[in-house]
Amino acid sequence: MDGALLQLLRHKTWSTLNLIEHCGGLETAHLDATMPGTYGTIPATLRHLVSSDEHYLAQLTGTGVPEPLPERLPQRSDLLNLLAERFRRSAPRWERLAENADVSTREITAPDGWRFPGAVLLAQAIHHADDHRTQILSILGARGVEVPRLSVWGYAASHGLLREPPATGAST
């Protein structure tokens, strides 16, 4: 696989972990918020995002489905910490997949029997995470809560991948 897929997967990890961390500092009223067109509350959406990501990875690698995530934990922060840990743990496995040349053409059979090339599931994993992160940012933005910068540009800037253009008009 080329470096673009690896960067997309690294962005998925970076932005999801940054969002979970950001949500750890929110008031309960903001966490429990939702709005039409989104998955649900912020913790429910994050749980769904992480759980789905683990299932996509299991399908691509042919490994067993991971232990289900709890619906709730006594402390909201415990759930967010668990989600972050589980997402962080799967990140190196996603990166190894990006380096596997045959993963995009490998035939995958979903639990419901549908078959498709691995590239479709890789694309779905990236899109799915983007979609639900955007839903959470929309919920928070609609409530007037400042949101983190999770774009690919934000990722690139935070990882030293952007360079300023050369100065123009410099005298010799």
Average pLDDT over residues 81-91: 96
Tokens standing for residue 111: 């639990």
Q: How far apart are CA 114 and CA 103, in angstroms?
A: 17
pLDDT at 171 over 90: no
Question: 1 pLDDT exceeds 90?
Answer: no
CA distance 32 to 152: 27
Average pLDDT of the residues in 120-146 = 97
pTM: 0.92
How many CA atoms are closer than 13 Å to the CA of 110, on its beta-carbon side?
12
Structure tokens at 74: 């006594």
Complete domains list, the chain, with CATH: 3-158 (1.20.120.450)
